[in-house]
């Protein structure tokens, strides 16, 4: 497995790979890998000749009071896991390498960024679009893989690719969960033992809410009561929206999403389902 630290090294690898007639699958990450990331590598390996993973904690998507400096990092462990998963190349640039100068051009997320996490994190998805645009161009990937746990991010990136005719396709990866239903996340390490046990109720609340929606009932009040009783976390939001438009006009597929703030970790989760199913 190759470790690529500079843009030039990555571009040279891409040129050699394309010259050999190979397709490229991209798995963008911020590191501290878990089974969710590795499941995307597995999917990418099945659909491409070569797989490149990026490991880059992107400062552009963190607000002034957010946890950029505290975000968990373990590059040696990440390299080992990426290699074991069969990744062909890992791109691990510095901040200076990715952003050598102040950007003069900005890409701004649209209305999809005004709900869910985006409502309280202004500029966050602009930062996401900035880094993925660079990664898409640098890797010339045929397919790029993103997890459904970050469903708002996934919907916005799909819009970017469609609206600007990127010559690539986005692949969705299912949310990977612990045995008790908690979605895998790099931030789970910040949970206390008590909070970790409580966090399993997030998935249970979502399932309860889905059942209420399918019965034609409003789910948010019941979900709020359940989470308030079962966890010590502060509910940031619970929302039911159309997917992937993220509007309140639900046509078919719906997303039921929530965010709960524990003492040192803010957890998000969601389920996407056909709201018309019997």
Domain ranges of the chain: 2-173, 186-272
105 known member of a binding site: no
For residues 169 and 172, give the distance between their C-alpha atoms in angstroms, rounded to a whole number. Answer: 10
**37 given a catalytic annotation:** yes
List the catalytic residue out of 37, 124, 137, 201: 37
Report the pLDDT value the prediction gives residue 65, as an integer from 0 to 100: 77
53 secondary structure, DSSP code: E
Report the pLDDT value the prediction gives residue 118, as an integer from 0 to 100: 96
Non-local (6+) Cβ contacts of 120 within 8 A are: 236, 237
229 known member of a binding site: no
Q: Which residues of the chain have pLDDT under 70?
A: 278
Asked whether 1 and 88 are in contact (CB, 8 A), the reply is: yes
Report percent pLDDT > 90 for the chain. 95
Non-local (6+) Cβ contacts of 149 within 8 A are: 36, 175, 176, 183, 184, 185, 268, 269, 270
Q: Tell me which CATH code domain 2-173 carries.
A: 3.40.50.620
184 known member of a binding site: yes
39 known member of a binding site: no
Closest CA to 267 of 275, 258, 276, 254: 258
pTM (two decimals): 0.94
Q: Which two tokens stand for residue 102?
A: 């102040």
177 secondary structure, DSSP code: B
Report the pLDDT value the prediction gives residue 278, as an integer from 0 to 100: 60
Question: The CATH number of 186-272 is which of 3.20.20.120, 3.40.50.2300, 3.30.1300.10, 3.40.605.10?
Answer: 3.30.1300.10
21 known member of a binding site: no
20 secondary structure, DSSP code: T
Report the pLDDT value the prediction gives residue 138, as an integer from 0 to 100: 98
């Amino acid at each position: 497995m190759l470790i690529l630290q500079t843009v030039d090294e990555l571009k040279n690898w891409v040129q050699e790979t394309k010259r050999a007639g190979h397709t490229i699958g991209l798995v963008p990450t911020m590191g501290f890998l878990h089974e969710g990331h590795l499941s995307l590598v597995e999917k990418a390996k099945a659909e491409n000749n070569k797989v490149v993973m990026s490991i880059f904690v992107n400062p552009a998507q963190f607000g002034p009071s957010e946890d950029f400096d505290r975000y968990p990092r373990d590059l040696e462990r990440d390299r080992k896991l990426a290699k074991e998963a069969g990744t062909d190349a890992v791109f691990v640039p510095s901040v200076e390498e990715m952003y050598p100068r102040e950007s003069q051009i900005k890409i701004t997320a649209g209305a999809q960024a005004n709900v869910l996490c985006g409502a309280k994190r202004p500029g966050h998805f602009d930062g996401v679009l900035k880094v993925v645009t660079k990664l898409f161009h640098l890797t010339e990937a045929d397919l790029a893989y993103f997890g459904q746990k970050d469903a708002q991010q996934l919907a916005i990136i799909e819009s970017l690719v469609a609206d600007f005719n990127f010559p690539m396709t986005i692949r969705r990866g299912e949310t990977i969960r612990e045995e008790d239903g908690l979605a895998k996340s790099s931030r789970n390490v910040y949970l206390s033992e008590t909070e970790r046990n409580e966090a399993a109720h997030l998935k249970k609340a979502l399932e309860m809410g889905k059942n209420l929606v399918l019965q034609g009932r409003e789910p948010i009040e019941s979900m709020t009561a359940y989470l308030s009783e079962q966890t010590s976390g502060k509910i940031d939001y619970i929302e039911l929206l159309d997917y992937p438009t993220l509007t309140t006009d639900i046509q078919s597929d719906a997303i039921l999403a929530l965010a709960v703030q524990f003492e040192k970790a803010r957890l998000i989760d969601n389920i996407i389902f056909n709201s018309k199913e019997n």
